[in-house]
Amino acid sequence: MSYNFVPSLKNQQIMMMDQAVAGKILVVDDEADILEIISYNLKSAGYDTVTAKDGIEAVQKAKIFRPDLIMLDIMMPNKNGIDTCKEIRKIPEFKDTMVLFLTALNDEKSEIDGLNMGADDYIAKPIKPKLLVSRINALFRRLNKQEEKTMQLGDLIIDREKFTVTYKGQEIILAKKEFELLQLLASKPGRVFLRNEILNQVWGTEVIVGDRTIDVHIRKIRQKIGIDLITTVKGVGYKFEM
């Protein structure tokens, strides 16, 4: 199966105008033409790009290349994208590396499974080149924003370096997990975080916690700050809204 990722001259110009944030991307797909075309478009947009044909090669190259973003197909021989993502997330130096699934699997269950594995985005094939690059640019802009020491959202200021939260000039004392949970949700306002995703990123995969753990911590955050900044999306997860 092949997909038309080759841009017209007009689309190439549009992609170059959509300014990319410099970064390193590892593209993993078992189809050579897909690798070539995606790599071409990303390099044209200013990204340093390396390719791998399956999950085994991806893990090997990731350790050498140290990418900022790993783009994974799901249906691959030897080691599929889901298993590759699981293995990558177990490697300490890749705990915070961005992962994007680019796959022909476009059903809701596959997308939820991908996000539960810790993916930062899930994109169904085929996709137009300029849209693919724009989605990747957005991920890198989000990453750069997350790396800032302080994050200000209205009257709320979160200082990652000092582990402090200030609301309307008043410092709020949060426990470590409360702080990490608030920081995670606030890092992507409006984005719904799945329950399993939150548990994996805040408590880790090695720690077993009760099903109500997130609810208890969110209730404490709401009480301490004095306003409800976190919305519960019933049966799905939570999102931060200011």
- Look up residue 46 and give its two tokens: 């200013």
Confidence of residue 135 (pLDDT cuts 50, 70, 90): confident
Is the pTM for the entire model greater than 0.85? no
Q: What is the DSSP pairing of strand 193-194 with strand 237-240?
A: antiparallel
Using one digit for the tens of pLDDT, what is the confidence trace for 37-96? 999 999 998 999 999 999 999 999 999 999 999 999 999 998 999 999 988 888 888 877
Q: Are 158 and 183 in contact (CB under 8 A)?
A: yes
In sequence order, what are the beta bridge partners of 52?
28
Q: What's the count of helices (H) and strands (E) in the chain, helices before strands?
A: 9, 12
Confidence at residue 19, expressed as pLDDT on a 0 to 100 scale? 44
pLDDT score for 138: 82
- Over residues 136-164, mean pLDDT: 80
Task: Write out pLDDT tens, residues 163-220.
Answer: 899 999 999 999 999 999 999 999 888 888 888 888 888 887 656 676 688 999 999 9
**pLDDT tier, 3 (very low <50, low <70, confident <90, very high otherwise):** very low
Q: What's residue 48's pLDDT?
A: 93
Mean pLDDT to the nearest integer, 33-40: 92
- Considering only 77-81, 142-146, 196-200, 221-225, which range has the smallest mean pLDDT? 142-146
Is the pLDDT score of 17 beyond 70?
no
Q: Is the pLDDT of residue 1 over 60?
A: no
pLDDT of 218 reads: 94
The beta-carbon contacts of 96-99 under 8 Å, at least 24 apart in sequence, are: 97/62, 97/67, 97/68, 97/69, 97/70, 98/68, 98/69, 98/70, 98/139, 98/143, 99/69, 99/70, 99/72
Average pLDDT, the chain: 83
pLDDT > 90 fraction of the chain, expressed in percent and rounded: 42
SS3 146: helix
